Structure 1
Amino acid sequence: MAKNPAAPDADATVPTGPGKHRPTPSRAEQEAARKRPLVADTKEARARAKAELASQRERARIGMANGEEKYLPVRDRGPQRRFVRDLVDGGWHPGELLMPLMLIVILLSLVPNTAIVYYGFAALWLYILVVVVDMIITSVRVKKLAREKFADRTEKGLGWYGAMRTIQMRFMRLPKPQVKRGGRPV
Protein backbone atom coordinates (compact mmCIF):
# COMPACT_ATOMS: atom_id res chain seq x y z
CA MET A 1 0.00 0.00 0.00
CA ALA A 2 1.33 3.33 -1.02
CA LYS A 3 0.74 6.41 1.08
CA ASN A 4 -1.25 9.27 -0.38
CA PRO A 5 1.02 12.37 -0.40
CA ALA A 6 -1.99 14.75 -0.10
CA ALA A 7 -3.24 13.07 3.08
CA PRO A 8 -1.28 14.03 6.16
CA ASP A 9 0.27 11.32 8.22
CA ALA A 10 -1.88 10.57 11.26
CA ASP A 11 1.19 10.21 13.43
CA ALA A 12 2.58 13.62 12.36
CA THR A 13 -0.58 15.65 13.12
CA VAL A 14 -1.08 14.43 16.67
CA PRO A 15 1.95 15.13 18.80
CA THR A 16 2.81 12.44 21.25
CA GLY A 17 4.91 12.62 24.38
CA PRO A 18 5.96 15.56 26.50
CA GLY A 19 7.08 18.91 25.08
CA LYS A 20 5.58 21.98 23.52
CA HIS A 21 5.89 20.76 19.92
CA ARG A 22 6.87 24.14 18.51
CA PRO A 23 10.15 25.98 18.15
CA THR A 24 11.22 28.37 20.94
CA PRO A 25 10.79 31.96 19.82
CA SER A 26 13.87 34.14 19.79
CA ARG A 27 14.31 36.95 22.33
CA ALA A 28 13.73 39.54 19.60
CA GLU A 29 10.42 37.90 18.67
CA GLN A 30 9.30 37.79 22.34
CA GLU A 31 10.17 41.45 22.93
CA ALA A 32 8.43 42.50 19.72
CA ALA A 33 5.28 40.62 20.78
CA ARG A 34 5.26 42.38 24.18
CA LYS A 35 5.80 45.87 22.80
CA ARG A 36 2.69 47.95 22.44
CA PRO A 37 2.05 51.63 22.99
CA LEU A 38 1.26 52.43 26.62
CA VAL A 39 -0.75 55.52 25.73
CA ALA A 40 -2.43 56.43 22.51
CA ASP A 41 -0.20 59.22 21.28
CA THR A 42 -2.70 61.06 19.16
CA LYS A 43 -3.56 64.69 19.74
CA GLU A 44 -7.26 63.85 19.93
CA ALA A 45 -6.69 61.20 22.61
CA ARG A 46 -4.57 63.59 24.69
CA ALA A 47 -7.14 66.37 24.35
CA ARG A 48 -9.96 63.99 25.25
CA ALA A 49 -8.07 62.71 28.31
CA LYS A 50 -7.26 66.25 29.41
CA ALA A 51 -10.89 67.35 29.05
CA GLU A 52 -12.12 64.30 30.98
CA LEU A 53 -9.66 64.95 33.80
CA ALA A 54 -10.71 68.61 33.96
CA SER A 55 -14.39 67.65 34.17
CA GLN A 56 -13.66 65.10 36.94
CA ARG A 57 -11.74 67.72 38.92
CA GLU A 58 -14.55 70.23 38.52
CA ARG A 59 -17.13 67.68 39.69
CA ALA A 60 -14.94 66.85 42.70
CA ARG A 61 -14.43 70.54 43.54
CA ILE A 62 -18.15 71.28 43.42
CA GLY A 63 -18.96 68.09 45.34
CA MET A 64 -16.45 68.95 48.05
CA ALA A 65 -17.75 72.51 48.35
CA ASN A 66 -21.29 71.15 48.73
CA GLY A 67 -20.18 68.64 51.36
CA GLU A 68 -20.92 65.49 49.36
CA GLU A 69 -19.41 62.63 51.34
CA LYS A 70 -17.64 60.85 48.46
CA TYR A 71 -15.72 63.97 47.43
CA LEU A 72 -14.59 65.00 50.92
CA PRO A 73 -11.05 64.34 52.10
CA VAL A 74 -10.74 61.71 54.82
CA ARG A 75 -10.37 64.32 57.59
CA ASP A 76 -13.84 65.75 56.78
CA ARG A 77 -15.80 62.52 56.31
CA GLY A 78 -18.40 61.04 58.58
CA PRO A 79 -21.52 62.09 60.47
CA GLN A 80 -19.56 63.28 63.49
CA ARG A 81 -17.43 65.67 61.45
CA ARG A 82 -20.56 66.96 59.71
CA PHE A 83 -22.15 67.53 63.13
CA VAL A 84 -19.09 69.51 64.28
CA ARG A 85 -19.02 71.57 61.07
CA ASP A 86 -22.70 72.42 61.40
CA LEU A 87 -22.29 73.25 65.09
CA VAL A 88 -19.41 75.63 64.43
CA ASP A 89 -20.94 77.15 61.30
CA GLY A 90 -24.17 77.92 63.16
CA GLY A 91 -22.53 80.46 65.46
CA TRP A 92 -20.39 83.59 65.51
CA HIS A 93 -16.75 83.25 66.52
CA PRO A 94 -14.15 86.00 67.07
CA GLY A 95 -11.53 83.96 65.21
CA GLU A 96 -13.23 84.74 61.90
CA LEU A 97 -12.07 88.34 62.19
CA LEU A 98 -8.47 87.51 63.13
CA MET A 99 -7.00 87.78 59.61
CA PRO A 100 -8.61 91.13 58.80
CA LEU A 101 -7.49 92.47 62.19
CA MET A 102 -3.92 91.33 61.49
CA LEU A 103 -4.00 93.14 58.17
CA ILE A 104 -5.17 96.32 59.91
CA VAL A 105 -2.35 96.01 62.48
CA ILE A 106 0.18 95.57 59.67
CA LEU A 107 -1.11 98.75 58.05
CA LEU A 108 -0.99 100.53 61.43
CA SER A 109 2.64 99.48 61.83
CA LEU A 110 3.47 101.64 58.81
CA VAL A 111 2.32 104.77 60.70
CA PRO A 112 5.34 106.65 62.05
CA ASN A 113 3.69 107.18 65.46
CA THR A 114 5.08 104.54 67.88
CA ALA A 115 2.14 104.86 70.28
CA ILE A 116 -0.32 103.82 67.56
CA VAL A 117 1.89 100.88 66.59
CA TYR A 118 2.25 99.82 70.24
CA TYR A 119 -1.49 99.96 70.97
CA GLY A 120 -2.25 98.20 67.68
CA PHE A 121 -0.02 95.27 68.58
CA ALA A 122 -1.31 95.22 72.16
CA ALA A 123 -4.90 95.10 70.86
CA LEU A 124 -3.96 92.29 68.46
CA TRP A 125 -2.44 90.19 71.26
CA LEU A 126 -5.50 90.74 73.45
CA TYR A 127 -7.72 89.73 70.56
CA ILE A 128 -5.61 86.60 69.98
CA LEU A 129 -6.10 85.75 73.65
CA VAL A 130 -9.89 86.11 73.21
CA VAL A 131 -9.74 83.87 70.13
CA VAL A 132 -7.77 81.19 71.99
CA VAL A 133 -10.29 81.24 74.86
CA ASP A 134 -13.13 80.92 72.32
CA MET A 135 -11.33 77.98 70.67
CA ILE A 136 -10.98 76.21 74.03
CA ILE A 137 -14.64 76.81 74.88
CA THR A 138 -15.71 75.60 71.41
CA SER A 139 -13.54 72.50 71.72
CA VAL A 140 -15.01 71.53 75.10
CA ARG A 141 -18.55 72.26 73.88
CA VAL A 142 -18.06 70.23 70.69
CA LYS A 143 -16.73 67.23 72.61
CA LYS A 144 -19.60 67.38 75.12
CA LEU A 145 -22.34 67.65 72.49
CA ALA A 146 -20.74 64.95 70.32
CA ARG A 147 -20.60 62.61 73.33
CA GLU A 148 -24.29 63.27 74.00
CA LYS A 149 -25.31 62.68 70.41
CA PHE A 150 -23.00 59.81 69.41
CA ALA A 151 -22.51 58.19 72.84
CA ASP A 152 -19.38 56.03 72.98
CA ARG A 153 -18.72 56.15 69.23
CA THR A 154 -17.08 59.60 69.19
CA GLU A 155 -13.94 60.08 67.16
CA LYS A 156 -10.73 61.55 68.47
CA GLY A 157 -9.89 65.09 67.40
CA LEU A 158 -13.41 66.47 67.10
CA GLY A 159 -12.64 69.34 69.48
CA TRP A 160 -9.54 70.36 67.57
CA TYR A 161 -11.42 70.04 64.26
CA GLY A 162 -14.12 72.41 65.52
CA ALA A 163 -11.63 74.84 67.06
CA MET A 164 -9.65 75.10 63.82
CA ARG A 165 -12.83 75.75 61.87
CA THR A 166 -13.66 78.72 64.14
CA ILE A 167 -10.59 80.67 63.01
CA GLN A 168 -11.36 80.34 59.31
CA MET A 169 -13.35 83.12 57.70
CA ARG A 170 -16.79 81.75 56.91
CA PHE A 171 -16.62 82.31 53.16
CA MET A 172 -13.27 80.46 52.96
CA ARG A 173 -14.32 77.31 54.80
CA LEU A 174 -14.28 74.02 52.92
CA PRO A 175 -16.61 72.22 52.84
CA LYS A 176 -18.88 75.24 52.60
CA PRO A 177 -21.16 75.88 55.59
CA GLN A 178 -24.44 73.97 55.25
CA VAL A 179 -26.31 75.83 58.02
CA LYS A 180 -27.04 79.51 58.40
CA ARG A 181 -25.81 81.49 61.37
CA GLY A 182 -28.02 80.72 64.33
CA GLY A 183 -28.96 77.36 62.80
CA ARG A 184 -28.67 74.08 64.66
CA PRO A 185 -26.95 70.94 63.43
CA VAL A 186 -29.16 68.05 62.45
Structure 2
Amino acid sequence: MFRRRDEASSAATALAEQDEKTPRDPQAKKGRPTPKRSEAEASRRTRVTVPKDRKEAARQSRERMRSEREKQRTALLEGDERALPARDKGPVRRFARDFVDSRWSLAEFFLPYAVVVLVLSIVKVPALQLLSTLLFVVFFVLVILDFARLGLGLRKALRERFPNENTRGAVPYGLMRTLQMRRLRLPKPKVKRGERP
Protein backbone atom coordinates (compact mmCIF):
# COMPACT_ATOMS: atom_id res chain seq x y z
CA MET A 1 0.00 0.00 0.00
CA PHE A 2 2.71 2.46 0.95
CA ARG A 3 4.89 1.08 -1.73
CA ARG A 4 2.50 1.87 -4.55
CA ARG A 5 2.13 5.47 -3.45
CA ASP A 6 5.90 5.94 -3.28
CA GLU A 7 6.30 4.45 -6.74
CA ALA A 8 3.54 6.67 -8.11
CA SER A 9 5.00 9.83 -6.57
CA SER A 10 8.51 9.02 -7.80
CA ALA A 11 7.12 8.39 -11.28
CA ALA A 12 5.28 11.73 -11.20
CA THR A 13 8.41 13.64 -10.13
CA ALA A 14 10.42 11.89 -12.86
CA LEU A 15 7.83 12.97 -15.45
CA ALA A 16 7.84 16.53 -14.12
CA GLU A 17 11.64 16.70 -14.32
CA GLN A 18 11.56 15.32 -17.83
CA ASP A 19 8.93 17.89 -18.87
CA GLU A 20 11.02 20.75 -17.47
CA LYS A 21 14.06 19.66 -19.49
CA THR A 22 12.26 19.32 -22.81
CA PRO A 23 11.58 22.53 -24.70
CA ARG A 24 7.92 23.31 -25.07
CA ASP A 25 5.79 25.15 -27.54
CA PRO A 26 5.18 28.71 -26.26
CA GLN A 27 1.52 28.54 -27.22
CA ALA A 28 0.92 25.22 -25.46
CA LYS A 29 -0.06 25.01 -21.80
CA LYS A 30 2.72 25.25 -19.26
CA GLY A 31 3.06 21.47 -18.91
CA ARG A 32 3.81 21.36 -15.20
CA PRO A 33 1.78 21.75 -12.06
CA THR A 34 1.49 25.11 -10.36
CA PRO A 35 3.88 25.23 -7.41
CA LYS A 36 2.51 25.59 -3.93
CA ARG A 37 2.69 29.01 -2.34
CA SER A 38 5.32 27.89 0.18
CA GLU A 39 7.51 26.53 -2.63
CA ALA A 40 7.14 29.69 -4.70
CA GLU A 41 8.03 31.91 -1.73
CA ALA A 42 11.01 29.74 -0.89
CA SER A 43 12.36 29.92 -4.43
CA ARG A 44 11.80 33.68 -4.49
CA ARG A 45 13.66 34.07 -1.21
CA THR A 46 16.65 32.17 -2.49
CA ARG A 47 16.86 34.22 -5.70
CA VAL A 48 16.91 37.67 -4.11
CA THR A 49 20.10 38.50 -2.28
CA VAL A 50 19.18 41.01 0.37
CA PRO A 51 21.73 42.00 2.98
CA LYS A 52 20.72 40.76 6.39
CA ASP A 53 21.68 44.00 8.08
CA ARG A 54 20.25 47.43 7.26
CA LYS A 55 23.54 49.10 8.09
CA GLU A 56 25.35 46.82 5.67
CA ALA A 57 22.82 47.59 2.92
CA ALA A 58 23.18 51.35 3.55
CA ARG A 59 26.97 51.06 3.50
CA GLN A 60 26.90 49.16 0.19
CA SER A 61 24.56 51.77 -1.30
CA ARG A 62 26.82 54.63 -0.16
CA GLU A 63 29.90 52.93 -1.60
CA ARG A 64 28.17 52.32 -4.92
CA MET A 65 27.01 55.96 -5.14
CA ARG A 66 30.47 57.21 -4.14
CA SER A 67 32.14 55.14 -6.85
CA GLU A 68 29.64 56.43 -9.47
CA ARG A 69 30.26 60.04 -8.40
CA GLU A 70 34.02 59.49 -8.54
CA LYS A 71 33.73 58.02 -12.04
CA GLN A 72 31.68 61.01 -13.21
CA ARG A 73 34.12 63.44 -11.56
CA THR A 74 37.11 61.92 -13.34
CA ALA A 75 35.14 61.99 -16.59
CA LEU A 76 34.40 65.69 -16.05
CA LEU A 77 38.06 66.44 -15.34
CA GLU A 78 39.40 64.41 -18.26
CA GLY A 79 36.54 65.10 -20.68
CA ASP A 80 35.77 61.42 -21.27
CA GLU A 81 32.55 61.57 -23.29
CA ARG A 82 31.38 58.06 -22.36
CA ALA A 83 31.21 58.62 -18.59
CA LEU A 84 29.89 62.20 -18.55
CA PRO A 85 26.58 62.91 -16.81
CA ALA A 86 23.50 63.07 -19.06
CA ARG A 87 23.39 66.89 -19.04
CA ASP A 88 26.90 67.10 -20.59
CA LYS A 89 26.68 64.29 -23.17
CA GLY A 90 26.33 64.60 -26.89
CA PRO A 91 27.74 66.61 -29.77
CA VAL A 92 25.29 69.50 -29.26
CA ARG A 93 26.40 70.06 -25.65
CA ARG A 94 30.07 69.65 -26.64
CA PHE A 95 29.63 72.32 -29.33
CA ALA A 96 27.90 74.66 -26.84
CA ARG A 97 30.80 74.19 -24.40
CA ASP A 98 33.39 74.85 -27.10
CA PHE A 99 31.47 77.88 -28.40
CA VAL A 100 31.38 79.45 -24.93
CA ASP A 101 34.96 78.50 -24.04
CA SER A 102 36.36 80.06 -27.22
CA ARG A 103 35.06 83.55 -26.33
CA TRP A 104 35.63 86.16 -23.67
CA SER A 105 32.55 87.09 -21.67
CA LEU A 106 31.83 89.48 -18.82
CA ALA A 107 29.73 86.89 -17.01
CA GLU A 108 32.75 84.82 -15.96
CA PHE A 109 34.00 87.80 -13.94
CA PHE A 110 30.63 88.30 -12.26
CA LEU A 111 31.40 86.34 -9.07
CA PRO A 112 34.79 87.97 -8.36
CA TYR A 113 33.28 91.37 -9.09
CA ALA A 114 30.37 90.64 -6.74
CA VAL A 115 32.85 89.81 -3.95
CA VAL A 116 34.68 93.12 -4.51
CA VAL A 117 31.38 95.03 -4.45
CA LEU A 118 30.36 93.20 -1.26
CA VAL A 119 33.61 94.20 0.45
CA LEU A 120 33.19 97.82 -0.68
CA SER A 121 29.61 97.90 0.58
CA ILE A 122 30.72 96.81 4.06
CA VAL A 123 33.04 99.81 4.39
CA LYS A 124 31.41 102.54 6.51
CA VAL A 125 32.01 105.31 3.97
CA PRO A 126 28.59 106.23 2.47
CA ALA A 127 30.03 107.59 -0.78
CA LEU A 128 31.98 104.37 -1.35
CA GLN A 129 28.88 102.27 -0.64
CA LEU A 130 26.85 104.27 -3.16
CA LEU A 131 29.62 104.01 -5.76
CA SER A 132 29.91 100.23 -5.28
CA THR A 133 26.14 99.81 -5.66
CA LEU A 134 26.08 101.89 -8.86
CA LEU A 135 29.05 99.98 -10.28
CA PHE A 136 27.32 96.70 -9.48
CA VAL A 137 24.13 97.76 -11.28
CA VAL A 138 26.12 98.90 -14.33
CA PHE A 139 28.11 95.66 -14.40
CA PHE A 140 24.90 93.62 -14.01
CA VAL A 141 23.31 95.38 -17.02
CA LEU A 142 26.48 94.76 -19.07
CA VAL A 143 26.40 91.06 -18.14
CA ILE A 144 22.77 90.79 -19.27
CA LEU A 145 23.62 92.43 -22.60
CA ASP A 146 26.60 90.08 -22.98
CA PHE A 147 24.29 87.13 -22.21
CA ALA A 148 21.91 88.26 -24.95
CA ARG A 149 24.75 88.64 -27.48
CA LEU A 150 26.27 85.27 -26.62
CA GLY A 151 22.91 83.48 -26.50
CA LEU A 152 21.81 84.76 -29.90
CA GLY A 153 25.17 83.83 -31.42
CA LEU A 154 25.05 80.35 -29.92
CA ARG A 155 21.48 79.77 -31.08
CA LYS A 156 22.42 80.81 -34.64
CA ALA A 157 25.53 78.60 -34.65
CA LEU A 158 23.54 75.62 -33.34
CA ARG A 159 20.92 76.07 -36.07
CA GLU A 160 23.64 76.13 -38.73
CA ARG A 161 25.68 73.24 -37.30
CA PHE A 162 22.85 70.92 -36.19
CA PRO A 163 19.82 71.68 -38.40
CA ASN A 164 18.01 68.37 -37.85
CA GLU A 165 18.94 67.64 -34.22
CA ASN A 166 17.22 68.56 -30.99
CA THR A 167 19.11 71.52 -29.52
CA ARG A 168 16.66 72.20 -26.72
CA GLY A 169 18.39 73.37 -23.55
CA ALA A 170 21.79 73.89 -25.17
CA VAL A 171 21.66 77.71 -25.06
CA PRO A 172 20.86 77.94 -21.32
CA TYR A 173 23.51 75.24 -20.74
CA GLY A 174 26.11 77.38 -22.50
CA LEU A 175 25.02 80.57 -20.72
CA MET A 176 25.25 78.92 -17.30
CA ARG A 177 28.75 77.79 -18.24
CA THR A 178 29.78 81.41 -18.84
CA LEU A 179 28.97 82.26 -15.22
CA GLN A 180 31.84 80.02 -14.06
CA MET A 181 35.40 81.19 -14.25
CA ARG A 182 37.20 79.41 -17.09
CA ARG A 183 39.63 77.69 -14.71
CA LEU A 184 36.76 76.16 -12.68
CA ARG A 185 34.58 74.92 -15.55
CA LEU A 186 33.72 71.24 -15.74
CA PRO A 187 34.17 69.49 -18.15
CA LYS A 188 37.48 71.25 -18.68
CA PRO A 189 37.65 73.58 -21.72
CA LYS A 190 39.08 71.85 -24.81
CA VAL A 191 39.53 74.96 -26.99
CA LYS A 192 41.62 78.06 -26.41
CA ARG A 193 40.19 81.53 -26.53
CA GLY A 194 39.87 82.75 -30.10
CA GLU A 195 39.80 79.25 -31.64
CA ARG A 196 36.82 78.20 -33.71
CA PRO A 197 34.80 75.42 -32.05
| TM bucket normalised to smaller | 0.7 to 0.9
Number of the residue aligned with 1:109: 121
Number of the residue aligned with 1:182: 194
Q: Does 1:137 align with 2:139?
A: no
Q: Does 1:93 align with 2:88?
A: no
SS at match of 2:163: helix
Equivalent pair of 1:139/1:158 in contact (CA under 8 Å): no
1:154 deviation in Å?
4.5
Report % sequence identity. 35
Number of the residue aligned with 2:95: 83
CA distance in structure 2 between the partners assigned to 1:144 and 1:83 by the alignment:
12
CA distance in structure 2 between the partners assigned to 1:53 and 1:163 by the alignment:
29
Equivalent pair of 2:76/2:84 in contact (CA under 8 Å): yes
The 1:79–1:38 alpha-carbon spacing in structure 2 relative to 1, beyond 3 Å, is same
- TM value normalised by structure 2: 0.70
For structure 1, which segment, 103-112 or 169-178, has the greater mean C-alpha deviation from structure 2 after superposition? Answer: 169-178
For 1:126, which of 124, 138, 148 is the aligned residue? 138
1:98 deviation in Å?
0.7
Equivalent pair of 1:136/1:163 in contact (CA under 8 Å): no
Q: Which amino acid aligns with 1:153?
A: E
CA distance in structure 1 between the partners assigned to 2:176 and 2:68 by the alignment:
29
Number of the residue aligned with 2:167: 155
SS at match of 1:130: helix
What residue ranges of structure 1 are gaps of 5+ in the alignment? 1-7
- TM value normalised by structure 1: 0.73
CA distance in structure 2 between the partners assigned to 1:142 and 1:154 by the alignment:
14
The 1:58–1:160 alpha-carbon spacing in structure 2 relative to 1, beyond 3 Å, is closer
The structure with more radius of gyration: 1
What residue ranges of structure 2 are gaps of 5+ in the alignment? 16-31
Number of the residue aligned with 1:12: 7
The 1:150–1:181 alpha-carbon spacing in structure 2 relative to 1, beyond 3 Å, is same
The 1:120–1:30 alpha-carbon spacing in structure 2 relative to 1, beyond 3 Å, is same
Number of the residue aligned with 2:80: 68
CA distance in structure 2 between the partners assigned to 1:33 and 1:83 by the alignment:
52
1:39 deviation in Å?
2.3
SS at match of 1:152: coil
The root-mean-square deviation of aligned C-alpha atoms, in Å, is: 3.5
